[in-house]
């Protein structure tokens, strides 16, 4: 019987990837639809618009796109500082510290009116940078939860290699990448709809998704630090399988007895 794979880090699990990717897509749609057509995650678009406005001499609009870029760079820097300082901290995983900071930032953004959209976008880009720098791999695959271009490249590369080599593992990896892309699109769709409906407060939904991720990491930490949980779970599964086999055996015997009795009654 297969054992529970406790060695797998929850920070690299597909369950966590789903919630983080939903939040990533949500944030991008929210910032674009509700915060002045700025991309919180896709900084390439902001760089293009920054260059365009600089070339046209639109200094205020250039600043509008520069601030999220600066916030993104700062977010990566701060996250790496947290990683280096708390990487050996036992009470809480350093990535959980990052998630708490993200949740607090998104919660604060939900209270900000349209008049401070620049500050809201700074907070969103900072939070996005923290996420993309902290969660880089899921199920052993390099993967991003806040943007899609790298995932699309990897998914298609794996698909092409599979068609050439017929190696099943490549097909599996390709499907995992495409699944993450699909989940991002779902998050973006939900983010757009909720932004139209709830305006500034919609971002709280993304904060809830990240909070779920935070809790999921605690569950895995409990399993990793308490191996007896794994052993107890295996014992429970073994007992359940034995009980199921015993019930099937008893039912089979009862059916046979009933069939014998039916045949006996039908004889003259």
Output DSSP code: residue 2.
P
Do residue 178 and residue 255 come from a single domain? no
| Arithmetic mean of pLDDT over the chain | 83
Q: How many CA atoms lie within 13 A of 54 on its CB side?
A: 9
Could you read off the pLDDT of 204-260 as tens digits, one per residue? Answer: 999 999 999 998 887 765 555 555 544 555 566 576 677 667 666 776 776 676 666
- Looking at residue 5, its pLDDT comes to 41
Using an 8 Å Cβ cutoff, are 27 and 40 in contact? yes
Q: What is the reported pLDDT for 4?
A: 37
Show the domain range for 268: 226-268
Q: How far apart are CA 263 and CA 233, in angstroms?
A: 45
Do 31 and 90 lie in one domain? The reply is yes
Q: Does a structural domain hold residue 249? A: yes
Residue that has been written with the tokens 């017929």 in this structure: 166
At 208 the pLDDT is 95
Q: Are residues 154 and 238 in the same domain?
A: no
- How is 182-249 classified by DSSP, letter by letter? HHHHHHHHHHHHHHHHHGGGGGHHHHHHHHHHHHHHHHHHHHHH-HHHHHHHHHHHHHHHHHHHHHHH
CB contact at 8 A, 65 and 53? yes
What pLDDT is recorded for position 201? Answer: 95
28-73 confidence digits (pLDDT tens): 999 999 998 887 777 888 899 899 999 999 998 899 889 989 999 9
CA angle 92, 95, 99 (to 5 degrees): 100
Question: Which 3-state string (H, E, C) describes 142-198?
Answer: ECCCCCCHHHHHHHHHHHHHHHHHCCHHHHHHHHHHHHHHHHHHHHHHHHHHHHHHH
- Tell me the CATH number at 155: 1.20.1250
Verify that 135 and 252 share a domain, yes or no: no
CA separation for the pair 38, 50 (Å, rounded): 11
pLDDT score of 192: 94
**Predicted confidence (pLDDT) per residue in 176-213, tens digit:** 999 999 999 999 999 999 999 999 999 999 999 999 99
Residue 41 lies in a domain: yes
214 and 242, same domain (yes or no): no
């Amino acid at each position: 019987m297969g054992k529970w794979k406790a060695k797998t880090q929850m920070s690299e699990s597909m369950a966590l990837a789903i919630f983080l990717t939903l939040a990533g897509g949500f944030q991008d749609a929210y910032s674009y639809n509700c915060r002045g057509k700025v991309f919180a995650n896709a900084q390439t678009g902001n760089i293009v618009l920054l260059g365009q406005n600089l070339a046209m001499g639109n200094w205020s609009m250039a600043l509008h796109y520069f601030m999220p870029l600066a916030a993104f760079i700062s977010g990566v820097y701060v996250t790496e500082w947290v990683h280096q300082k708390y990487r050996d901290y036992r009470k809480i995983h350093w990535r959980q510290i990052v998630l708490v900071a993200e949740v607090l930032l998104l919660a604060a953004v939900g209270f900000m009116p349209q008049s401070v959209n620049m500050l809201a976008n700074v907070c969103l880009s900072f939070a996005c940078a923290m996420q993309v720098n902290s969660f880089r791999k899921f199920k052993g695959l390099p993967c991003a939860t806040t943007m899609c271009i790298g995932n699309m490249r990897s998914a298609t590369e794996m698909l092409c290699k599979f068609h050439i080599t017929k190696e099943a593992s490549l097909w599996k990896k390709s499907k995992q990448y495409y699944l993450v892309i699909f989940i991002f699109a779902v998050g973006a769709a939900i983010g757009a709809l909720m932004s139209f409906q709830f305006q500034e407060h919609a971002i709280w939904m993304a904060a809830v998704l990240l909070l779920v991720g935070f809790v999921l990491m605690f569950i895995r930490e409990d399993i990793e630090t308490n191996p007896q949980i794994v052993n107890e779970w295996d014992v429970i599964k073994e007992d359940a399988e034995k009980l199921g086999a015993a019930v099937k055996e008893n039912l089979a015997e009862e059916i046979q007895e009933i069939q014998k009795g039916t045949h006996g009654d039908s004889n003259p």
